[in-house]
A and B are shown apart, each in its own frame.
Chain A
């Protein structure tokens, strides 16, 4: 009979052997099941990046997805691809003063070509033909169809489209998984359908919320603004709604894994973080990132209707149901592994937040104050 020897494997610790050292007792999710060390097989079959695919990225001039294209371009350039990033609109527009556009020289120094043009005529600012076209811009068919048609016409082998996880239908069986029903009226859906029928291998990515360097849109800042000032954090609902916030460099990594990868063809990928987190949990992660003891942070859970505020305006994330997706397809088909946990990502963001001086800025918390006073009255009553 075989000797019974425990294989020493850092990844198979019996539960309990790995304990959180932080006073908040948040689980030590440094190595979640989707991180590198447990995806042994996939690591060995890691996508062998071919050098020098020519990639044309159409990048939205504003809004939360802009940052995805920035990091995607960087990572593709690092992988020796020939990258052009086109921003619809004017190079001189005010929007270009914001991140990530204000940092486009970082892209240029890596050899990325940055151009401005129009989705109705990508060819006008293209030079040569492209193997891979990425649309990280359009939300509807009017905007995307010309891009798709041009890509096909000039012989692209692959088309990546950044759609949205917001199109999933709310469900009582979370999480949103690739293939689940979507709201057919959502404009992204018509783009996805058109793309699937086009003569090009497509991969569709559906992001949720995004955090990271060079972000065009506030995400964690909402939490930091309150925690930095020692203010209570009003969270609508009971705080248990589960959501997903992804770190943008991991998102870009996921997309690079699709480039020139047969496994990505025809694929639909939730471009999200590896774990869900409750809204109250986000407050805890933000506090931990800020080095603030949770005992000193007050979460106020409230009913927006009762208080008389619009939840949408008072809080940046969906909270009425579990807007919670998982990246199952990317993990299974692309061998996706995450470089960092959300907790770690937020620590980086806190450092940037402090360095920016935003913590000292004067800010109005009108809606917060309304909520707080309504809830204080409620408790006193």
Chain B
């Protein structure tokens, strides 16, 4: 049961709440004769949802992975039957993409129409794909909003300056290469992604503290603004890029329609978990030496984008508002007691101890 919770602090987007989860959301069939799709990666999080949507749309999907982890994974929405149906619909090519020679020998002569590249990190990762598949209609890349240069003028829009020194510079190099080599590419820049099966401790970090009834340490004054996007909305956006002329050689920010402060995320997670409003403890990171451990899952700055270009071009709109989306993640994953990482409150305790001493 989806609790449509809200309180005065959270402005609901116009389409309130989340639709009952569907395995096959109704999609504008704008694009699509069935395509032969090669997905690179796609077995962990984003790709898990995206591959399903593509299969539901009638496309032939091949996942290319090393084969070290299972090629297909059940999602919480699956029934055994729906999972079996899906699992037998996808193909698999086992190869390590870091081995350019092996990639080329596996892909040479293959007739894929479209590549969805979910796990590429560096320009070198995409070169063998491009050279093996010279007749691709479209190369759709999962990039990152992390490429934007930190700014006081917000939100980040796709034309804004990027930071060639950022941790995500590999993504920038890939985008630049795709643009220069004349491929028809579409690049998607998500911000923080969340949702059931998330392996990044985004919502998990908050849910751990809420589950333990612990205060939530937030750096600074908690008013830093950021943006979270549900993985299903991201997957839908990816599908809307497929065969879309407007998306030709375009870059799109994809995330939630609303942004949120750090304090707001903590409160939203508590709402999602049906827990009381959490105690927030604000701390000055400069006062501590955490020894390289992260004190908070988000970068300590304003970091958010405008998704209007995608909404306009792709006729896409996020289904989930923040509370509804976090509720979905809680009810299908973290609220069931499933976590990727065990809780680690060492850093929290350092903060709480120090502040207790001071008060």
Interface string of A328-361 (1 = CB under 8 A from B): 1001000000000010000000000000000000
The answer to whether A278 touches B260 (Cβ under 8 A) is no
A residues less than 8 Å from B121 (CB atoms): none
Task: Answer whether A172 and B10 are a contact pair too, CB < 8 Å, given A1-B135, A18-B161, A322-B261.
Answer: yes
Verify if B158 is at the interface (C-beta below 8 Å from A). Answer: yes
- Known A15-B251, A33-B157, A284-B152; further 15 A-B contacts with Cβ < 8 A: A6-B182, A14-B176, A15-B172, A15-B175, A16-B172, A27-B153, A32-B159, A33-B306, A172-B261, A173-B9, A174-B260, A179-B11, A237-B221, A276-B155, A281-B153
Is B232 an interface residue when CB atoms closer than 8 A count as contact?
no
Interface residues of A in 1-32 (CB under 8 A from B): 1-2, 4-7, 9, 11-20, 25-29, 31-32
Q: Is there a chain A Cβ closer than 8 Å to B2's Cβ?
A: no
Question: Is A63 positioned at the interface, with any CB of B under 8 Å from its CB?
Answer: no
A173 and B155 contact, CB distance less than 8 A: no
* B137: contacting residue among A2, A277, A282, A285, CB under 8 A: A2
Binds B, one of A113-121, A130-138, A213-221, A238-246: A238-246
Who on chain A is nearest to B111 by CB?
A: A1
With A13-B159, A173-B11, A173-B259 known to touch, is A242 a contact of B154 (CB < 8 Å)? Answer: yes
Q: Is the interface of A mostly helix, strand, loop or mixed?
A: loop
Determine if B308 and A34 form an interchain contact, defined as CB atoms under 8 angstroms apart: yes
Q: A179 near B308 (CB under 8 angstroms)?
A: no
Among A6, A31, A321, which residue has its beta carbon within 8 angstroms of that of B179?
A6
Listed A/B pairs (23) with beta-carbon separation below 8 Å = A1-B136, A4-B136, A13-B159, A14-B176, A14-B251, A15-B160, A16-B161, A33-B308, A33-B309, A38-B309, A172-B268, A173-B259, A173-B264, A174-B259, A179-B11, A241-B223, A275-B154, A281-B153, A284-B152, A285-B153, A321-B223, A322-B225, A322-B261
Q: Which residues of the partner chain B approach A15 to less than 8 Å between Cβ atoms?
A: 147-148, 158-162, 172, 175, 251
Q: Which of B151, B154, B250 has the most CB of A within 10 A?
A: B154
- Would you call A316 an interface residue if the criterion is a C-beta within 8 Å of the partner chain's C-beta atoms? no
Chain B residue nearest in CB terms to A25: B149
Query: Distance in Å from the Cβ of A46 to the closest Cβ of chain B?
Result: 16
Q: Is there a chain B Cβ closer than 8 Å to A211's Cβ?
A: no
A interface footprint on B178-190 (CB within 8 Å = 1, 0 otherwise): 1100111001000
Which residues of B sit under 8 angstroms from A32, Cβ to Cβ?
A: 157, 159-160
Residue of B161, B312, B322 near A27 (CB, 8 A) is B161
Asked whether any CB of chain A lies closer than 8 Å to the CB of B220, the reply is yes
Q: Is B164 an interface residue (CB 8 A)?
A: yes
In the complex, which residue of chain B has the Cβ closest to the Cβ of A16?
B162
List chain B positions with a Cβ less than 8 A from chain A: 8-11, 14, 135-137, 147-149, 151-155, 157-162, 164, 172, 175-176, 178-179, 182-184, 187, 220-221, 223-225, 248-251, 258-261, 263-264, 267-268, 302, 306, 308-309, 312, 322
A240 with B302: CB separation less than 8 A: yes
Tell me if B11 and A240 are in contact (CB < 8 A).
no
Contacts A16-B172, A28-B161, A240-B223 given: A172-B137 contact, CB under 8 Å? no
Minimal Cβ-Cβ distance residue in B for A6: B182
Which residue of the partner chain, among A29, A172, A277, contacts B263 with CB atoms under 8 Å?
A172
B182 and A5 contact, CB distance less than 8 A: yes
How many chain A residues sit at the interface, stated as a range, is 35 or more
Known interface pairs A14-B175, A33-B158. Does A175 touch B182 (Cβ–Cβ under 8 Å)?
no
Nearest A residue to B308 via CB reads: A33
B359 smallest CB distance to A (angstroms): 17
Chain A residue numbers with a CB within 8 Å of B147 are: 15-16
Given A20-B161, A172-B264, A242-B225, CB of A342 within 8 Å of CB of B249: no
User: Across the interface, do A342 and B153 meet the contact criterion of CB distance under 8 Å?
Assistant: yes
Q: How far is the CB of B348 from chain A (nearest CB, A)?
A: 22
- Which residues of chain A are within 8 angstroms of B309 by Cβ–Cβ distance? 33, 38
Which residues from chain B contact A203 at a C-beta distance below 8 Å? none
**CA–CA, A361 and B175, complex, Å:** 52
Query: Chain B residues near A281 (CB, 8 Å)?
Result: 151-153
Q: Mark A229-240, 1 if CB is under 8 A from B, else 0.
A: 000000001101
| CA of A28 to CA of B162, assembled, Å | 10
Q: Let me know if A153 is at the binding interface, CB within 8 A.
A: no
Which A residues lie within 8 Å of B312 (CB)? Answer: 41
Least CB distance from A41 to B in Å reads 8
Q: How far is the CA of A328 from the CA of B259 in the complex (A)?
A: 14
Residue of A5, A31, A242, A280 most packed against chain B (CB within 10 A)? A242
Most buried by A among B8, B175, B264, B302: B302
CB pair A173–B10 under 8 Å, yes or no, is yes
Chain A residues 21 to 57 lying within 8 A of chain B, measured CB to CB, are 25-29, 31-34, 38, 41
Residues on the A chain within 8 Å of B182, using CB = 4-6
In the assembly, what is the distance between CA of A229 and CA of B136, in Å?
A: 60
User: Chain B residues with Cβ under 8 A from A314's Cβ?
Assistant: none
B159 touches A33 (CB 8 A): yes
Verify A6–B153 contact, CB threshold 8 A. Answer: no
What separation, in Å, do the CA atoms of A355 and B11 have in the docked complex? 45
Whether B221 and A242, one on each chain, are in contact in the complex, defined by CB atoms closer than 8 angstroms, is no
Contact between chains at A27 and B221 (CB < 8 Å): no
Residues on A with beta carbons closer than 8 Å to the beta carbon of B220: 238, 240
| Minimum Cβ distance to chain A for residue B198 (Å) | 20
Is B11 touching A31 in the complex (CB atoms < 8 A)?
no
With beta carbons under 8 angstroms apart, the residue of B9, B135, B249, B251 that contacts A172 is: B9
Please indicate which of the listed interface residues B147, B162, B176, B225 has the most CB atoms of chain A within 10 Å of its own CB. B225
Instruction: Quote the shortest CB–CB distance from A178 to chain B (angstroms).
Output: 9
Inter-chain contact B261/A174, CB cutoff 8 Å: yes
CB pair B249–A6 under 8 Å, yes or no, is yes
* Contact in complex: A4, B264 (CB < 8 Å): no
User: What's the minimum C-beta distance from A312 to chain B, rounded to whole angstroms?
Assistant: 18
Q: Does A177 make an interface contact (CB < 8 A)? A: yes
- Distance in angstroms between the alpha carbons of A26 and B148 in the assembled complex: 12
A177-B11 in contact (CB<8A): yes
- Residues in A with CB closer than 8 Å to B322 are 173
Question: Closest CB of chain A to B263's CB: distance in Å?
Answer: 6
Residues of the A chain whose Cβ atoms lie less than 8 Å from the Cβ of B263: 172
A173-B164 Cα distance, complex, nearest whole Å: 30
**CB closest residue in chain B, given A24:** B152
Check B248–A280 contact: CB distance below 8 A. Answer: no
* 3 nearest A-B residue pairs (beta carbon): A281-B152, A172-B264, A15-B162
- Distance in angstroms between the alpha carbons of A200 and B178 in the assembled complex: 53
